[in-house]
Structure formats: structure tokens, C-alpha cells
Structure 1
Amino acid sequence: MTAPTPAYRITAEPDEDDLREVGGLGLWSVSSSKPNCGLKHLRDDDITTFWQSDATQPHSVSVQFPRLVSLMRISFYVSFAEDESYTPQELSLYAGNNINELQEIGQLELKKPAGWVNVPLHGADERSPLRTHVLQLMVRANHQNGKDTHIRQIKVYSRAQYTAKEPGMAPYTSLEFLSHSCVR
């Protein structure tokens, strides 16, 4: 299968200290799921549970945000050793303003992955975040030609905002406020 090469390129990862998980702000959906292996298992912070698809490929996981968000990274946990033919091998990432107007922004090929797969996201310029309402991870093929997919966890990250260092203080909302923090 030859897919068009998107203009998007995967680049170096952002610094961990600059990120915060924002998946709780969005509405998550999956293309299908087996009983007791649904969406809640994908976001429960437990790598022993997993989402399992239950239909023909491709399989997808989508998150829709009520407002435009700036995303820096998507991370998902997969384990070839535990899931074998259920492990994703070929994936695509899509983004857009709504679920019906998504554009492919990247492709991944995983070779027997074990653990967290971190995929940096960026806008038109590699230093800016990806600004979107919807982000979708699509599994196009599994290892060993498996039919259904297991993904154990998934998280999306944005840049961290400056926060107050002392309890009871309002969070900083800009660099200007941060520069005057010692006056507080």
C-alpha cells in the first residue's frame, strides 16, 4: 500500500517538563470495541488493561476538544510481547476542525514496540504546536496480519502553563506576570 507522503514530519520530542496531559478536556471515541475492553480501559492509567477493537481494519481512536487546543505530543502504550498479533504496526495520525474534515498529518511504522510510543506534534513551523479540535490515531495494520488491535493507554499533551509556586497564589498566565512574581 503506497500512501501519499504528508507535509507533516515527526521531529524531536518536546522537553517533559514543558508538557501536561490534556486528554481529560476532550471527548474520546473508538471505532469499535470488544465487551470489557472498551474506551474506559484506554484512559484508566493502568497498563494491564487495554482497548480491543472489534471490526474490520482500519481501527481508530479519536479525541474531540470543545475548543481549539495546542497539542505537542500524543503518547500510547503498546506491547508486542504481551499482545503479539494485536499490536499495531502501521498507523496514521489525522487532525482537523471536526471528525468529518480530518487531514492526514503523519504516518508511523512500529517494529515490535514495547512500552510508550511518543509522537511529537507540531504546526506549520516545527517549533509551534499543532492547533486542532480533533486528533485521530488510526491503526491500518497489525503485526502478524492480526485483525483486532490492543492499545493499553493513550495520552495527549499540551505545553504546560506557568503555575504558582506557593499555595493560594493564582497561576501565572503570561511571561509578563511571571516576571513580576517576586513582587507578589
Structure 2
Amino acid sequence: MVDARADTYWQSDGPQPHTITGVSPVAARLCQLRLLCDYGADESYTPALLSVAAGSHWADLQPVRSVVSLVEPVGWVVIDLAPPEG
């Protein structure tokens, strides 16, 4: 989903919710999710709500970040996935 060009993007029509599944060939700890959004250009294709889940297999996914609300985002949206310190 990354090709180093800001003028190309993933877009999905059809029934909601839309999902994106990323798979790594080795165990990896994700600390951030970054999305480049442009509400002015994308309008109805720009996400409004996001939730993030992770696991070792699609059947054992657990919520990592509860629903994140985006209001007409423009630019990079950074979602911290690291557990809170403390």
C-alpha cells in the first residue's frame, strides 16, 4: 500500500466496514500506524472511524487501539499503537 507517491492511493467501494489486513513474515511489534489523508480530495473515501487489532493469526486478533475518530483529516494521521507506559 506504499509506493512513495502521494497521488496514488487505496480506495474501496462496496459494503462497509472496509478492512485492511497486513501480514509480516516474521513476528514484529508495530508502534505506529500512519495514514496520509486528504479529505478535500477524497471526501467520502476518507476514513471517519478506525480500529486496530493485532495477533498471530486472523482468528486470534485482539484490539490494540479502540475506535479512533477522524474529522475531515488532511495530512499524515499518526496513530500510536504502543502500550501506555506506567
Equivalent residues in 2 for 1:104-143, closer than 5 Å: 104-106=63-65, 107-123=67-83, 126-127=84-85
Q: Could you tell me how far apart the structure 2 residues matched to 1:117 and 1:62 are?
A: 18
Equivalent residues in 2 for 1:45-124, closer than 5 Å: 45-106=4-65, 107-123=67-83
Q: Could you tell me how far apart the structure 2 residues matched to 1:120 and 1:99 are?
A: 21
Q: CA deviation at 1:43?
A: 1.1
Q: CA deviation at 1:53?
A: 0.9
Q: CA deviation at 1:109?
A: 0.3
Paired positions, count: 84
Q: CA deviation at 1:48?
A: 0.7
Q: Which has the higher strand share?
A: 1
Q: CA deviation at 1:51?
A: 0.7
When normalised by structure 1's length, the TM-score is 0.43
List structure 1 runs of 4+ shifted beyond 6 angstroms: none
Q: Could you tell me how far apart the structure 1 residues matched to 2:14 and 2:43 are?
A: 18
Alignment gaps of 5+ in structure 2: none
Q: After superposition, what is the alpha-carbon deviation per residue over 1:104-129, rounded to whole angstroms, capped at 9, x for unaligned?
A: 22220001100110011114xx24xx
2:23 alignment partner, SS class = strand
RMSD: 1.3
The structure number with the bigger radius of gyration is 1
